Structure 1
């Protein structure tokens, strides 16, 4: 038994791998592998020792050049990195143009040296991280996540998003961007926009105007406007409003304790606290004009009532968050001092009861404007008729108002009125016009707009027999019959037609400065030629709106230039008969419907010169037509 166990033990073998079996099968041993390796290494050392004396000097020279190039490149990268870091920290975004060397000859030593430097730099470049991995910013050392849009820094590392933006901004500065050449540049569009708004500029701008425009351009960088006069502050407020920059920070520039007015035409960016700040800084304010005051709430109104003890003039538009009770409280506490109240775009509150309270508690009111107040009805008109101190009245209501109530209003307050504006009174008829002619004898401004009931004969009788002095402002626009099936209108003309147009121009010829007959499409060509014949004179006429009066043509416009020596602005949208008009110096014609022309035309010569050129062009065109017919 013992012998069998010893024999089995002698035959025990450990596990053999496939490699061991392969080496044994091919008669390969570990000793043989070691001997072959030692022999190859000895042979390589002998070969290297034999070649060393020949290559030693050249290798040392190459190593020295490589080291010097690496040092130079390292210094250059370090210097550039410091410059970029300093630029980004200062936030000055000034680009530094890289100087370009002269073109080198192909195969020169400089080119070889440059290639060698690039190779050395490529050897020492860091491995770029893949998107999604974390990396430290080369400039600010902040940890950030790499994205496909990460920028590369001056030393080859990656930059975080803020540093990348700054570096891109630096690269863009100094690159000359070609100006876009179009049919109309930005400056020209600005000029045209101002002229369409009624701001007509002839010649060079004044120093004050240039300063105002410069201040408006940099509104966000101004800390104080100084002691500017109120009229300049109001003009700045208008520009800031148009540019939509009237925000809480900018509002502080206009609040001064020594100024008696607050004028902000667009309060869309202002909140309730901003309104309270106005009256906290200017408690002695007398005039408040706030347009688009959508955040003017009850608490703001109550604060104004308590603080603004000297308030006399209030213009408030779109303040729909003020309740009826707060309006009544304001009239009770401040109504005695009020001289002007102008309210518009009130939909949610302010009803007939509030107008009655206004009349009750504001006995000294001289100017009242109520436009687009949706809840007002005929009770409000009856209440207003008791305001015997009114001198200026403007009304625009959406509800139906009987003519009897309008006649009562005109009979009670008409004798003292200097301004009467009635808009969108669709049912106002000839009886009301007759009452205006009988009771209103002091008007300087008259507006009757958007009516399709009053006849041409009634208006002609009004202006022919009216004992009122000549009007300064006359607006009778959109008074015409509206019937698509009968575009020429009924036999008895509705609105402003030939007879009434001739009569009103004869009545107010000496004083009229602003005339609006827009959309009065029943005015005949013969009436226009008779009124603007070049012989009748309108010495004060400065602005006229003839838009959509289809009979207006080039000849009518020429007669207008001759008859109105002080004319500055003509609006003629939709007048398709105007062709080849020559505008005198100092006059702007807006809306001439010629696709190839600008929307306005500006004069550069005297009236006689302009008329002569127009006559010459008219004669040439007629001569060409005669020849073509022959």
Structure 2
């Protein structure tokens, strides 16, 4: 090698001298650039350069200074100077930027020490700037880049988590679950099991309350498949609750009754694939069924219903059927009444083929304590409803009549005279009952016990030409009825639904929820579409109802700025969580 260099007139001294010359040239060029950048507008007029070059150099200088002003290092140095010299000291941004330009980083090809490790390296156009403004070697640049990527991923996780939690929080708010702090250990475990349910082989000896909670979560997530159903089939359990059977087939229903012959409580919702076979199999094999609830079983024929009532009817204590559009006509209802004499709870909703004869036949079920009817609304007269209430009212503790267009003041009078044990009352969708009749229903002089649950929603006049209703005798539930209800039942009332009762005045609401009266048991209120509700009314509700957990105010457009106490779920109000007051209200 030395011979090769010598043959080409190259020596070590020459290499060193060439390097030193390049280094001095680079330093001189750097100093010259700094001097050019420091020149102001007045100096440019005395320059011997061409005016076009002056403009180019000035634009380049301004562009360079602008980049420096936008850099993190510039902001950091400006902040440090203010800290060192005091907040009263102000330095021109251009002056600071020019001083930083004079101390600019080495040019590519020059040597520099790494800011982090101190290693000597050759500067390139791709050399990365360190945290303090110095340059980094290749190794430290790579390590810093990896750290920034990791930090970026962590920040994404941190920002994504609150959005996920907020969605779950809003879902819980709709369910009335707004307990502050972390969830209970049991709830966390149940949710975790629900998330990995497809990897679980069996639930073991899980108590019935947790099985029911799991069924609710899985039904809500629409993941209750035949494979998941097998986890709930235990011969030592006396009840089965499946809230969404949409993904189950006919053989799955038969499997339920085959694995659980001693079942007493059957609750199968949205069981669209259940047919005659599984229903009759249950009637033959499950001799201990006492409580039966089926929903949307539209493939079951009238003959199968009649056979099931005849076999299981004598032992049934509660029966709940809903969403039946192709069966359960008047003749089958008469079979039900004849066979199920011991019924104490009956709920029939959305059974399209039930007519007035069906309602009339139910009058002979004198042992009923709980009755819910939302069927044959267009065909049932008020006289038939009065007969039904007069026959059964003496023993009823729960009465629900929904969407009966012929329900009038005479029906309310029958409830007032016959039902002396009611703790739950639901009258929905009346368009002809008067406010005076509703108010008379809650007369304290009758001695009727206070209600615990009152649902009087959608009772209002629907005359579009006179939306406020007649002034002399208001139609629907109005201010007078609300005052009478709260005077009668306010001490024990827990749930109140007044949705769409638009004839309640603002003065009436303020008199009931004045912030002085106390309704100690009231936990759930629905005032959606009651347009007179505003911030003042809401604040009065919060002060009047110390146990309140959930308040629904959909379409109450005058309520936007109310201060919401912590622990209360207000649904229907945009950005309600931003108005929550933490601490003393």
Superposition TM-score, scaled by structure 1 size: 0.67
Asked whether the equivalents of residues 289 and 316 of structure 1 are also in contact (C-alpha less than 8 Å), the reply is yes
What secondary structure, in the 3-state scheme, does the structure 2 residue paired with 1:185 have? helix
What does 1:588-627 correspond to in 2, within 5 Å? Answer: 588-592=569-573, 594=574, 597-598=575-576, 602-606=580-584, 610=585
Q: Which residue of 2 aligns with 1:536?
A: 517
Segments of structure 2 that go 5 or more residues without pairing to the other structure are 1-118, 125-149
Instruction: Indicate the residue corresponding to 2:552 in structure 1.
Output: 571
Q: 1:221 aligns with which of 186, 191, 199?
A: 199
Give SS of 2:335's match: helix
Cα–Cα, structure 1 residues 495 and 106, in superposed 2: closer, same or farther, change >3 Å? closer
**Equivalent residue, structure 1, for 2:354:** 376
- Is 1:338–1:362's contact at 8 Å kept on the other side of the alignment? yes
Equivalent residue for 2:143? Answer: none
Alpha-carbon separation, structure 2, partners of 1:186 and 1:585: 21
Which residue matches 2:75?
A: none
User: TM-score, normalized by length of structure 2?
Assistant: 0.72
Instruction: Tell me how far apart the structure 1 counterparts of residues 203 and 237 of structure 2 sit (CA, whole Å).
Output: 13
| Superimposed CA distance per residue, residues 146-179 of structure 1 (whole angstroms, 9 cap, x where no aligned partner) | xxxxxxxxxxxxxxxxxxxxxxxxxxx9994844
Equivalent residue, structure 1, for 2:447: 467
Is the 1:587–1:603 Cα contact (8 Å) retained in structure 2? no
Alignment partner, residue 330 of structure 1: 308
Distance 1:346 1:310 in 2: 25
CA distance in 1, matches of 2:191, 2:578: 23
Asked if the contact 2:173/2:570 (under 8 Å) is kept, the reply is no
Question: 2:516 & 2:558 partners in 1: Cα distance?
Answer: 22
In 1, the alpha carbon distance for the partners of 2:560 and 2:232 equals 47
Greater alpha carbon shift after TM alignment, 393-402 vs 451-460: 393-402
Q: Deviations over 1:213-269 (max 9, x none)?
A: 100111111111110111110010000000111001111111111100000000011
Please say if residues 586 and 603 of structure 1, whose CA atoms lie closer than 8 Å, have aligned partners that are also in contact.
Answer: no
- Partner residue of 1:434 out of 402, 408, 413: 413
Match of 1:201 in 2: 179
Q: Is the Cα contact below 8 Å between 1:336 and 1:361 reproduced in 2? A: yes
Question: 1:391/1:103 Cα in 2 relative to 1: closer, same or farther (>3 Å)?
Answer: farther
User: Contact 2:178/2:567 (CA < 8 Å) preserved in 1?
Assistant: no
CA distance in 2, matches of 1:505, 1:223: 52
1:528–1:175 CA distance, 2 compared to 1 (3 A): closer
Q: Distance in 1 between matches of 2:198 and 2:581?
A: 38
The equivalent of 1:212 in structure 2 is 190
Match in the other structure for 1:392? 370
Q: Does the alignment pair 1:458 with 2:475?
A: no
Where 2:294 maps in the other structure, the secondary structure is: strand
Contact 1:514–1:541 (CA<8 Å) still a contact in 2? Answer: yes
Partner of 1:507: 488
Provide the rounded CA distance (Å) in 2 between the counterparts of 1:183 and 1:208.
22
Task: Please name the residue that 2:542 is paired with.
Answer: 561
**Bigger Cα Rg:** 1
Contact persistence 1:533–1:563 (CA under 8 A): yes
Partner Cα distance (2:245, 2:545) in 1: 40
Deviation at 1:483, TM superposition (A): 2.0
> Does the aligned pair in 1 maintain the 2:432–2:475 contact within 8 Å?
yes
Equivalent residue, structure 1, for 2:5:
none
Per-residue deviation at 1:519? 0.6
> Which residue number corresponds to residue 6 of structure 2?
none
Bigger RCO (CA 8 Å, 6+ sep): 2
Cα deviation, 1:127-149, whole Å, max 9, x if unaligned, reads: xxxxxxxxxxxxxxxxxxxxxxx
**Partner SS, residue 564 of structure 2:** coil
The more displaced of 191-200 and 334-343 is 191-200
Alpha-carbon separation, structure 1, partners of 2:245 and 2:565: 40
Distance across 2 between alignment mates of 1:584 and 1:549: 22
Compute the displacement of 1:449 (Å): 0.6
Matched residue, 1:81: none
Per-residue deviation, 1:201: 2.9
What residue number does 1:95 align with? none
SS in 2 for 1:488: coil
Note closer, same or farther for the CA distance 1:476–1:205 as it changes in structure 2 (3 Å cut): same
Q: Is 1:527 aligned to 2:508, yes or no?
A: yes
Q: 1:179 to 1:328 in 2, by over 3 A?
A: same
The superposition leaves residues 304-327 of structure 1 with CA deviations (integer Å, 9 ceiling, x where unpaired) of 111111000011000001110111
CA distance in 2 between counterparts of 1:334 and 1:364 reads 11
Change in Cα spacing, 1:407 to 1:176, as seen in structure 2 (3 Å) is same
How do 1:128-527 and structure 2 match up within 5 A?
Answer: 176=153, 178-179=156-157, 181=159, 185-398=163-376, 399-464=378-443, 465-491=445-471, 492-527=473-508
Q: Deviations over 1:511-542 (max 9, x none)?
A: 10000001111101111111111221111101
- The structure-2 alpha-carbon separation of the partners of 1:103 and 1:188, relative to structure 1 and needing over 3 Å to count, comes to farther
Match of residue 527, structure 2, among 546, 551, 575: 546
- SS in structure 1 opposite 2:368? coil
SS of 1:262's equivalent in the other structure is strand
